[in-house]
Amino acid sequence: MDTNVLFIFILAVFVGFEVISKVPSMLHTPLMSGTNAIHGIILFGGILVLADAATPLARVLGFVAVVFGSANVFGGFMVTDRMLQMFKKKKK
């Protein structure tokens, strides 16, 4: 394993803590939903392993991984957007 990757990992841990430290509780649900969509990047992992799949079993499992990952990423962003479009200030 490249130690550079480990370095990036450690930095990302701190950035993750830092960016949400001041989030108001009214945004906790959309924030959870939005970060949920971001880990939908696992779709790419699914694509990468399915692209190299050589056995029927690997194809089936890889296919399921792609479906799951795709539902996670698309559904996640859409549902977050749907929630957030409702946050409006009072119209005067």
Partner 1 sequence: MSSTIALIFIGVAVLFIIGIKFLSSPKTARYGNLVAAFGMLVALLALHKTTGDYVWSQGWNLNYTLIAIGTVIGLIIGAIGAYSVKMTAMPQMVAMFNGLGGGAAALVASLEFLRRAHGLEDVAASITVPMLFATLIGSLSFSGSIIAYLKLEGKFEKPHTFPGQNFLNGLILLVILGLGGWLTFNATGGNAVTAFIVMFSLALFFGIAMVMPIGGADMPVVISLLNSFTGLAVAADGFAINNLAMVVAGTLVGSSGTLLTLLMCKAMNRPVTNVLFGAFGSGGGGSQAGADDLAGKSVKPIQADEAALLLAYAQRVVVVPGYGMAVAQAQHQVRELSDELGKRGVEVQFAIHPVAGRMPGHMNVLLAEANVPYDQLYEMEAINPSMDRVDVCLVIGANDVVNPAAREEKSSPIYGMPIIEADHAKTVIVMKRSMAKGFAGIENHLFYKDNTRMLFGDAKASLNALIAAVKAG
The shares of helix, strand and coil residues in the chain, as percent rounded to the nearest 5, are 80, 0, 20
The count of chain residues that interact with partner 1, using the rule CB under 8 A, is 81
The amino acid at residue 24 is P
List of E strands, the chain = none
Cβ-contact 23, 14 below 8 angstroms: no
In the complex, what is the shortest distance from the CB of residue 92 to partner 1, in angstroms, rounded to a whole number?
10
Region 3-42 residues binding partner 1, contact defined as CB under 8 A? 5, 8-9, 12-17, 19-42
Supply the minimum distance, in Å, between the C-beta of residue 36 and partner 1. Answer: 5
Q: How far is the CB of 3 from partner 1 (least distance, A)?
A: 10
SS3 at position 75? helix
The least distance separating partner 1 from the CB of residue 56, rounded to whole angstroms, comes to 10
Q: In the window 54-73, what residues touch partner 1 (CB under 8 A)?
A: 54, 57-59, 61-73
Q: Confirm if 91 and 71 have CB atoms less than 8 A apart.
A: no
